[in-house]
Amino acid sequence: MEKKCWYKEMAVYQIWCRSFCDGNGDGIGDLWGVLSKLDYIASLNVDGIWFSPLYPSPNSDYGYDISDYKSIHPDFGDLEIFKKVLDGAHERGLRVFMDLVVNHTSDEHPWFIESKKGTDNPYHDYYYWRKGKGKKRPPNNWDSLFEGGAWEYDKNLDEWYLHIFSKKQPDLNMANPKVREEVKDIMRFWLDMGVDGFREDVITYISKAEGLPSAKVKLPAATGMQYYTNLPKVHDYLAEFKHDVLDFYDCFTVGEGPRMEPDVALSYVREGKDKVLDMMINFSHMEADCFITDFIQRPFDLIKLKKAFTKWQKAMYGKGWNALYMENHDHPRVISRYGSEKYRVESGKSIAASYLFQRGTPFVYQGQEIGMLNTPLGSLDEYKDIMTHNNARIARSLGLGKSTVLKLAQKASRDNARTCMQWSDAPNAGFTEGSPWFVVNDNYRKINVESQQNDPDSLLNFYRDALQFRRDNPVVVYGDYVEHLPKSRELFVYERNLAGKKLLVICSYSEKPVRFDAPEGIHLDEGKQVFGNYENNFVISNGFTTRPYEMRVYLF
């Protein structure tokens, strides 16, 4: 039997503050807005909040380029209101997790400004400054994931600095012990204030290969990746953070690991003395309709989705713990991707049931709980996200026409997840009384919190009920995971078992009627149907024929 533990039992709500709720009427979501919505968040039956970065930032990457780690972006408020939110959350039994972005800082962070002043400046070695190869050639051939090459030249120093992301996000040199002390200092600052842990941004990138070698093989827009992804030192640095800081607090950490495989994830999260993170966010199940990035699209394939989930469920069982999610600020809305806008509520519930009842800690992203959809914008200029513009530029350079690229962006842009939260059918969806910083989807009159609040059949109330059920039934948290019908292209079916209890989850990802027959040894009429997204749930010959995106959950 699994050791009981709070972070395994919790569910987490993710807030991307700029678009969550505007409390002071300037059109930008802020912490006054969050404070006013704490009761709503608690009503979702989650146990914690993960805040995407709240710190001062020039917003080249909307908060993921930080210019001060120990303060709050003036758009969002200040430390005083943050503390109110923290206390208010704690009073409601919600833990609070901060985004820790230490692979890079903003180029406007004082450390970077100092580091540029001279090669003998004490901060120079906080970053990767190198001489170029001859005139005008960068130190190596690595690509930036956000814009062209990974190096930017500084005339004054006659040196280049490394930036895996935008040139406004210079990479920190974690090999420098002083930088690691800074990270620990930041951690202590927030933990001492009462924060309960961190989501650690691209944490698997924080060590770079000795000598920063050029890559022999070029990868499209990602050359050099192998020299900064999951190097052995990452583990050492995380162990240092853990032993020097985290072990002194009752806190939790989840790392973000792009292109992560379970065996590598286990090197960080395996239970035991070498564990350096509690869980790892992986991306495999986000590729069921695309290839590596949301921009290289292919038709949605349920088998790919199931394979990805099942691979992680099996690999982590008894060894580590999964972070479960379907949406966050980096991906388009899941109903628009894997479900059906036409059957929005039905498919929304089916998608939700297919991950909330798996083994792991579920994360729910703002707006996901009411089934917000993608928001296609009319032209590329309207997109705010730097990654969208980078991908559009690459697509154009590969010869794709403007309108094709716009269509790609409309489906794939991270901005789909960053439109304003839809609270009600009031102007601007009740997000702001001012003029919103970014678009509000026109569908807000229909899709909003208020209209779902008291409707027992709403998606919102399904999320609430499912998360309450997870709290009440240890089989959902600690049970094993057995997949059925892995070859079905329409149905995602799995069971969970713990101490004589069994949960059977059946989710259709199709409009088409599909016959479902209960697996050997399971008699549906012996169980109790605890969830469904249709009325009249007949069982005929120990099975049923699905209605569009039908979902049923049975407890035995």
Q: Where on the chain is the footprint of Ca ion (CB under 5 A)?
A: 22, 24, 26, 28, 30
The torsion region of residue 203 among left (phi > 0), alpha (psi -120 to 50) and beta comes to alpha
CB of 99 to ligand GLC, least distance (A): 8
Sequence-ordered strand ranges (E) for 306-374: 323-324, 361-365
Distance from chain centroid for Cα 385: 16
CA distance 188 to 179: 14
DSSP-derived pairing of the beta strands 252-256 and 197-200: parallel
- Closest to Ca ion by CB, 26 vs 483, is 26
Residues of span 279-338 touching ligand GLC by CB under 6 A = 329-330
In the list 165, 198, 228, 531, the residue contacting ligand GLC (rule: CB under 6 A) is 165
In the list 15, 44, 66, 101, the residue contacting ligand GLC (rule: CB under 6 A) is 101
CA distance 312 to 125: 38
CA distance 508 to 505: 10
CB of 165 to ligand GLC, least distance (A): 5
Q: Which tokens hold the place of 437?
A: 């910083």
- Closest to ligand GLC by CB, 41 vs 202, is 202
Distance from chain centroid for Cα 161: 28
Taking CB within 5 to 8 Å according to partner kind, which of Ca ion, ligand GLC, none is near residue 64?
ligand GLC
Is 490 among the catalytic positions?
Answer: no
CB of 60 to ligand GLC, least distance (A): 10
In the list 22, 30, 61, 75, the residue contacting ligand GLC (rule: CB under 6 A) is 61
CB of 33 to Ca ion, least distance (A): 7
- What does the longest C-alpha to C-alpha distance in the chain come to? 79
CB of 297 to ligand GLC, least distance (A): 19
CA distance 47 to 371: 21
- Closest to ligand GLC by CB, 14 vs 508, is 14
Q: CA nearest 270: which of 320, 305, 215, 309?
A: 320
- Closest to ligand GLC by CB, 202 vs 392, is 202
In the list 66, 96, 202, 466, the residue contacting ligand GLC (rule: CB under 6 A) is 202
Taking CB within 5 to 8 Å according to partner kind, which of ligand GLC, Ca ion, none is near residue 26?
Ca ion
In the list 147, 201, 287, 346, the residue contacting ligand GLC (rule: CB under 6 A) is 201
Q: Which tokens hold the place of 526?
A: 């012996």
- Per DSSP, 49 falls in state E
CA distance 337 to 335: 5
Is 201 among the catalytic positions?
Answer: yes
Is residue 143 at the binding interface for ligand GLC, with CB under 6 A as the rule?
A: no
CA distance 295 to 438: 22
- Per DSSP, 104 falls in state B
DSSP assignment of 11-32 equals: -EEEE-GGGT--SSSSSS--HH
β-bridge mates for residue 197, sequence order:
97, 252
Taking CB within 5 to 8 Å according to partner kind, which of ligand GLC, Ca ion, none is near residue 24?
Ca ion
- Asked if 218 and 141 count as a contact pair (C-beta separation under 8 A), the reply is yes
- Closest to Ca ion by CB, 24 vs 297, is 24
Taking CB within 5 to 8 Å according to partner kind, which of ligand GLC, Ca ion, none is near residue 330?
ligand GLC
Which of these is catalytic: 147, 159, 171, 201? 201
Identity of the residue numbered 284: S
Taking CB within 5 to 8 Å according to partner kind, which of Ca ion, ligand GLC, none is near residue 121?
none
CB of 258 to Ca ion, least distance (A): 31
β-bridge mates for residue 323, sequence order:
361
CB of 101 to ligand GLC, least distance (A): 6
- Asked if 154 and 161 count as a contact pair (C-beta separation under 8 A), the reply is yes
Is residue 64 at the binding interface for ligand GLC, with CB under 6 A as the rule?
A: yes
- Closest to ligand GLC by CB, 64 vs 357, is 64
- Asked if 474 and 359 count as a contact pair (C-beta separation under 8 A), the reply is no
CA distance 503 to 476: 8
Residues of span 255-284 touching ligand GLC by CB under 6 A = 256
CB of 24 to Ca ion, least distance (A): 4
Which of these is catalytic: 30, 256, 369, 385? 256
Taking CB within 5 to 8 Å according to partner kind, which of Ca ion, ligand GLC, none is near residue 101?
ligand GLC
CB neighbours (10 Å) of residue 540?
A: 9
- Closest to Ca ion by CB, 22 vs 159, is 22
Taking CB within 5 to 8 Å according to partner kind, which of ligand GLC, Ca ion, none is near residue 30?
Ca ion
Identity of the residue numbered 232: P
CB hemisphere CA count around 436 (13 angstroms)? 19
Taking CB within 5 to 8 Å according to partner kind, which of Ca ion, ligand GLC, none is near residue 34?
none
- Closest to ligand GLC by CB, 64 vs 97, is 64
Q: Which residues bind ligand GLC (CB under 6 A)?
A: 61, 64, 101, 165, 201-202, 256, 329-330
The catalytic site residues sit at 201, 256
